[in-house]
Structure 1
Amino acid sequence: MRFYVPEWEDAVDANYDFIHDELSVLNKTERERSFIWDIFDYESTPIDGVLISREQAEGSRTKFDRITEYGVYDDPQLNIPNWLPTISDCGAWGYKSLPFPPYANENMLEFYEKMDVDVGVTIDHLVLGSGKQKGRLYLDERGLNPEFGESDLPTELTDQVDVMIDEWPNEWPDIVSRREPSIYDIGGVEPFTSEDFEGSAIEILQRMNEDPRAVYREDDKQERYEMTLENARKMRDLYHDGDWSFRLMAAFQGWDPITYGDALDEVLEMDYQYVGIGGVAGSQLKQVEEIVTEVGHRIADYQSNHGTRVDTHVFGFAKTDGFETIGRTGMYSIDSASMLRAAWTGGNNYHLNADERFDAIRVRYTSPGDDLKTAAEKSMLGQEVLHALRAFDDGDSISSRIRGWYAEATPVLDSLVDYLTDNRHDERYDARLLREITSEFRDDFEYGCELQASFSDDLRKQLVKLLRVDDADDPVDFDEYLEIINAGREVAERFPRTVDRVEALEEKSGEVATFKQVWTVLENYATSDLVDDQNLLDGYRKTLRSRPWDRCDCPICEELGIEVAIFRGNNRNRRRGFHNTYRFYQQFKRDLPKILIVAPADGSLFGRNTVEGYLTDMYGELWGAVHDIPVAEIGVLDANGVHEWWEPGPPSVSLDPSGISEELERKAGRYDTILYYDPDGKARLDIDSVEIVEDPQEVRGRTLERLGYDSDPVPSRDIQIQLGEF
C-alpha cells in the first residue's frame, strides 16, 4: 500500500539559522528550500508519493505556470525525485461552494499531461450533506454588493435552504450548458437587489431558477453524485481517444455505503482499474470503515469474476485506527496531510506514536501592534528561555548558557551606535526595497543577526526604515536612531530574569540541566504578563520530562534535538510536521508492511499492451494466485526496473543479470519484503528482504502471512448496511 502526501508548498529553509531565527536568504526565490523528500534519503523518505491538486496549484499564478511548463519532476522549485509517483486531482474541497466544478474534462487531461504526473483523477464534486428541508441555493458572490450583501438575505429563506456563496468563474465547462443553461455563457453580472429576494421562500426560489446569478437544487447531493459519474464517463472516452502518458483514476462519491458501492459499480463498468473514494476526509472512522468495506467487497467480487485487479485510493484518510480495515478491504493507496498539519494546530503537536503525543513548547514572536519596548522585552524573554531549553537538551549549565547569551547581546547596541555613525550613508542603503536593505545590514553589521534575535525584528526594521530615508544631503537626525536603540537598552537592563535562581539550584544540587532548573526559566516565561501561557504548563511539563526527541531516530530530531519540540515559526513547525509524518509512516509500515511481488521479464514483455497481459500469458498461475491480494504491489522486473501490472509493456527490455540485481537491491531499500517468483528455480540472488519463491500458492501464502490475514481477508459487512440494498 502507498501513502501519498498532498503538496501544499510545505517547504522549509534548508539553511535556516535556528540560533538567531533568521532565514538564510530573505529573497524567497533565491533561498534553497527543502521539502520532505529533500530532508530524508531514498530509503527513509516517509511517503510513497505526492498528490498535487489543481485548485491548490492555481493559488499562485507563478507556480501554476511553472509546473505546467516544466512538469512536477523538472520544476526547479518542487524538484520531486522521479522515483516518487505522483497523483493529480482537481481539488474538489476547494470549489465545494460552487454549483459545478469549474474545470472541463479535456482541459484537465491536458493539465495532467503538462504536469507529467503518473496518475490523473477524473473531475468530481463533493457530495455534501442533505442540507435543510428545501435543499441548497448557490449564489454568485460577484452579484453581492454593499447595497445588498449576504447579511441582507431574508431569514425565511436561509432557515429553509442552505445558501452557498462563492465567486463563480467567468467561463463554465460544457457540462453546465446541459445541466443549468441559465448560468452558462453569461457576460456581465448584475448586482443583486432587495427586490430579488422579496416574497416567500418558494417565490424566491422559483425566481432563482432562471437567474444567471443563482442555482437552486432541491436534491443537491444527487446532482453532485451524477455529475461526478458523468465526468468519469466523459473523461474516460476522451482518454481512450487520445494518447496520454498518465494513468487515469475515476473518483466517485456517495453519502452512505450503498451509494458509494453503486457508484463504484458504474465506474467499474466503464473499465476503470484505478478508482478513488472521495468525500470521506474528516468523516468518523466508523463511517469510513463501512464505506471501504462495502467498496472492498464489490471490488473483490469484480476481481474474482473478471480475473483482473482493481486499485483503490482513499482520498484524505489516514487514521491509524483504520489500518486494519483499509488493508483487508484491498485499498491500494491513501493520502493525508493531517499529521503534518497537526504540528501547528492545537495541542499534542509533537507525535512519537499514536499513543504518545506531546505539546511543543511555544516560544512566541512579537505581535503586530507591539511598541518597541514590548517587542524587545518579548524577544529577550524568548531568547532567555530558548537558550535554557538548548542547554537542558545538551546537558550543559543553564545559568552559564543564559549568562553567555546576555554577554553577547548587551554589546550589540553599543556597537550599533558606532556602526550607524560610520555607515548610515553608505550607498548600499540606497536600495528601494526594505528587504534588500535588511539583507545588506544584517550581512555587514557584525551583530546584525543577534540584534534581531535578542531585541526583536521590530526594532531592526525601525532602524532599516531610517536607513532607507537617511541621505547624506538630507540626513536623518541621529537622535531618531538613538531613540530606537535606547528602547532596547532600557529593556536589556531588566535581564536576565532567572539566572540567579537557576545558578542557586545548580550550586545546591551539584547538577546541571535538571528539570527543576529549566522549569524555573520556562515557568517564568509562560506566566509573564507578555506571554500568559500558564494554561499550557501541564503539557510542557510532560514534554520536558519525557524528552521524546531523544527517542526519535528521524534525521530532523537527530540533528536539531529540542528545536523540533519548540513551537515557533515555519522552520520549526513544518520540520516537526515532517517528523510527525515520519512517525506516522513507521506505524503505517508496521501495520501494513510494504510487500512487492515480482516476476522475471523476458523479451516478450516488449511492446505488450499491458504488463497484466504478459503476466496472464507467461505466469497465469501466479497471476491467478496473487491478483486479488490486498496491500501488496505486483509487477514484472527487468534491469530497467519494476513494471507495474497496469502499465503498458516497456519500449525496451534489458535482461542484464547485474542490472536486475541492482534494481532489486535498490527496491529492497523501500520494501519490507520482496517476493521474487522463480518457477524454474534458476535465480541466484543474495539480497536482504528478497525471498525467492517457486510456487504461486506459496507466494500468496507468504504475502497473507506477512500481513496477518487469512485466505479471505475482506471483513464482513454490517448486516444493517446490507439490508439497505433491499
Structure 2
Amino acid sequence: MKFFFPDSQDQVDPGFHFVTEERDPFRVRQRDDQYAHEVLTQAPFDGLLVSKAIVDGTAAGTGKYTVAQRHRLYREGARRFFRLDHGHTPLEIMGDCGAFSYVTEEYPPYSVDEVIDFYDGCGFHYGIAVDHVIFQYEPKTTRDDKRAEEWVRRQDITLDLAEKFWQRCKARRVSFAPLGVAQGWSPQSYADAVKTLQDIGYQRIALGGMVPLKTPEILACLAAIDQVRDHDTTRFHLLGVSRCDEVRTFADYGVTSFDSTSPFRQAFKDDRDNYYTPTGTYVALRVPQVDGNAKLKARIRSGEISQNRALELERTALTRLRQYDADEIDIDPVVHALDEYSAVWDGKSDRSSQYRATLADRPWRACACDLCKTIGIEIVIFRGSERNKRRGFHNLYVFEQRLRAQQGRTPCDQDPT
C-alpha cells in the first residue's frame, strides 16, 4: 500500500531559531526551505500528489503557487522542483485536477489536453483523469430517482472525460500511467462506474468523493466494486482517504494506494489530537504569539489587558517549557504558566489536564524521528508555522510507521505495487 502526500507547498526553514524566532535574512524560500522528505531521514510517504488547481488555480481563484514557482515547476519538472533526489528515499509523483476546488462549477474548468500537458510536462509517474466530484451518499438511490439527477450528470461527465483522457493518452503516448476516476453516491453507482472504466481499458482507477464517508460506508462501496472488478489487473487509489487500521481490508479489495493530508493537518487544525505516537495522540501546548493572535490583539486594543502583561505571560510560558525539558523545574509551574497565558488569549477552554498529560509523558523523548530528536519540546508547542509544520511532518512519520506495522513491513521493504 503506497501513501501519497498532497502537496500544498508545505516546507520548513532549516535555519529558523526557536528561541529568538529569527530567520536568515538571506533566506530564499524555494531554494532553502525543506520538504518533509528532506527533513526526515526516512521519507514519511511513498510519493507526492500534486493538483493542477493548486499549481495553476481555476477561474474561481488562484492556486497556492506564485507565478515564479509555477514557471519553475514547468521548466524544471517535478523531480527537480520537489528535489526528490535530495531526500533519502526514492519518491513518485501523482497528479490530479483538484476537483474539490471547482466543485461548485457546472463543468470542470480544464480540458483533457491541458491536464495531459500538465502531467507529461512536469514528468509525473501517474496522472488522474479530469473528474467532477459527488459529495452525497445515498445508498438506496438509483440513477432513475429524480434526486440523483445532478449526481448522474456529474458521474456521466467524469466517465465521458475519462474515456477522452484514455484515448488522448494513447494517441499522445504519454510517459505517465493514466488513472480513471470513479465518482458515485452509492455502492452500486460506484460499481457501475468502475465497470465502465474497466471497459474503457483502465487498470488503475481512483475512487473519488469518499472523504466525507464513514468507514463502514467506504467498505460497503468497496464490497460492491469487488463484484465487478477484474481481480487480476485492476488496482485502486483512494482519493483523500486515510484509515490506517483498515489497510489490510482495503488491500483485499484491490486498493494499492491512497492519499491524505489528515496526519499533517491535525497537527494544527485539530482541537486535541495534535501530536501522534504509535499508540495514540496528545494535545499540543498552545503558546500563540501576542502579535499573531487576533483575539488577544483585540483585547489589547480595547484596553482590557496591557500588551506588556501579555508579552510577559507569553515569555514566561515559553521559558518554563524549556526549563522543564531541561529537567530544571517540575510540571506544576509549567501548567500554571500555560493556564495563566491561556486565560488571557483564550479565556474559554481549560486544557490544563490535557497539557499535564502531554508534559508528564514527554512523548517527544521517546520518538525516533529526526525532528523530535533535534528540537525537543518545541515540537509540541502550538505556535506559528515553523513548529506546527514540523509537528505535522512528525505526524506523517508516525502515520507511515503505523501503516508499515499494519502491513507487517519494515523500512527497507518494497511496496508490492
TM-score grouping bracket, smaller chain normalisation: 0.7 to 0.9
> CA distance change for structure 1 residues 670 and 374 in 2, over 3 Å: closer, same or farther?
farther
Q: Would the aligned equivalents of 1:276 and 1:312 in 2 still touch at CA under 8 Å?
A: yes
Match of 1:365 in 2: 289
Distance 1:296 1:589 in 2: 24
> CA distance change for structure 1 residues 535 and 264 in 2, over 3 Å: closer, same or farther?
same
Are 1:391 and 2:395 an aligned pair?
no
Are 1:92 and 2:99 an aligned pair?
yes
Please give the secondary structure, in 2, of the residue aligned with 1:340: helix
Pairing of 1:10-409 with structure 2 (within 5 A) = 10-25=10-25, 28-29=28-29, 32-41=32-41, 44-58=42-56, 59=63, 60=65, 61-75=67-81, 78-81=82-85, 83-129=90-136, 219-299=149-229, 302-303=230-231, 308-353=232-277, 355-366=279-290, 367=293, 369=297, 370=300, 374-396=306-328
> CA distance change for structure 1 residues 355 and 282 in 2, over 3 Å: closer, same or farther?
farther
Q: Would the aligned equivalents of 1:317 and 1:335 in 2 still touch at CA under 8 Å?
A: yes
Are 1:520 and 2:336 an aligned pair?
yes
Are 1:553 and 2:368 an aligned pair?
yes
Per-residue CA deviation, residues 309-328 of structure 1 (Å, 9 max, x unaligned), is 22210110112232232122
Distance 2:352 2:119 in 1: 49
Distance 1:224 1:269 in 2: 19
Unaligned residue ranges in structure 1 (runs of 5+): 132-160, 162-216, 397-512, 595-667, 675-726
Q: How many residues are paired up?
A: 390
Q: Would the aligned equivalents of 2:335 and 2:355 in 1 still touch at CA under 8 Å?
A: no
Per-residue CA deviation, residues 254-276 of structure 1 (Å, 9 max, x unaligned), is 11111111110111111111111
Structure with more relative contact order (C-alpha pairs < 8 Å, separation 6 or more) = 2
Unaligned residue ranges in structure 2 (runs of 5+): 57-62, 139-145
Match of 2:388 in 1: 573
> CA distance change for structure 1 residues 246 and 130 in 2, over 3 Å: closer, same or farther?
closer
Per-residue CA deviation, residues 205-227 of structure 1 (Å, 9 max, x unaligned), is xxxxxxxxxxxx98110000001
Distance 1:374 1:66 in 2: 46
Amino acid at match of 2:337: V
Please give the secondary structure, in 2, of the residue aligned with 1:86: strand
Distance 2:253 2:133 in 1: 23
Distance 1:255 1:293 in 2: 14
Percentage of pairs with the same residue: 26
Please give the secondary structure, in 2, of the residue aligned with 1:670: coil
Distance 2:392 2:224 in 1: 33
Match of 2:59 in 1: none
Amino acid at match of 1:66: R
Distance 1:536 1:560 in 2: 23
C-alpha displacement at 1:56, in angstroms?
1.0
Distance 2:23 2:85 in 1: 25
Distance 1:2 1:340 in 2: 17
Please give the secondary structure, in 2, of the residue aligned with 1:74: helix
Q: Would the aligned equivalents of 1:123 and 1:228 in 2 still touch at CA under 8 Å?
A: yes
Match of 1:542 in 2: 357
Pair member with larger Rg: 1
Match of 2:142 in 1: none
Q: Would the aligned equivalents of 1:350 and 1:358 in 2 still touch at CA under 8 Å?
A: yes
C-alpha displacement at 1:547, in angstroms?
1.4
Q: TM-score, normalised by structure 1?
A: 0.51
Please give the secondary structure, in 1, of the residue aligned with 2:350: helix
Amino acid at match of 1:337: T
Amino acid at match of 2:397: Y
Amino acid at match of 1:74: R
> CA distance change for structure 1 residues 218 and 536 in 2, over 3 Å: closer, same or farther?
same
Amino acid at match of 1:49: G
Distance 1:80 1:377 in 2: 47
Per-residue CA deviation, residues 659-712 of structure 1 (Å, 9 max, x unaligned), is xxxxxxxxx8531799xxxxxxxxxxxxxxxxxxxxxxxxxxxxxxxxxxxxxx
Q: Would the aligned equivalents of 1:365 and 1:378 in 2 still touch at CA under 8 Å?
A: no
Q: Would the aligned equivalents of 1:112 and 1:120 in 2 still touch at CA under 8 Å?
A: yes
Q: Would the aligned equivalents of 1:352 and 1:548 in 2 still touch at CA under 8 Å?
A: no
Distance 1:288 1:516 in 2: 45
Distance 2:284 2:389 in 1: 12
Match of 1:647 in 2: none
Per-residue CA deviation, residues 428-471 of structure 1 (Å, 9 max, x unaligned), is xxxxxxxxxxxxxxxxxxxxxxxxxxxxxxxxxxxxxxxxxxxx
C-alpha displacement at 1:534, in angstroms?
5.3
Distance 1:374 1:68 in 2: 50
Q: Would the aligned equivalents of 1:93 and 1:126 in 2 still touch at CA under 8 Å?
A: yes
Report the RMSD for the aligned CA atoms in angstroms. 2.5
Distance 1:520 1:275 in 2: 53
Q: Would the aligned equivalents of 2:263 and 2:396 in 1 still touch at CA under 8 Å?
A: yes
Per-residue CA deviation, residues 175-228 of structure 1 (Å, 9 max, x unaligned), is xxxxxxxxxxxxxxxxxxxxxxxxxxxxxxxxxxxxxxxxxx981100000010
Amino acid at match of 1:46: P
Please give the secondary structure, in 2, of the residue aligned with 1:13: coil
Match of 2:141 in 1: none
Match of 2:60 in 1: none
> CA distance change for structure 1 residues 23 and 282 in 2, over 3 Å: closer, same or farther?
farther
Match of 1:583 in 2: 398
Per-residue CA deviation, residues 299-346 of structure 1 (Å, 9 max, x unaligned), is 2xx23xxxx422210110112232232122121101100110001113
Q: Would the aligned equivalents of 1:24 and 1:31 in 2 still touch at CA under 8 Å?
A: no
Match of 1:179 in 2: none
Match of 1:467 in 2: none
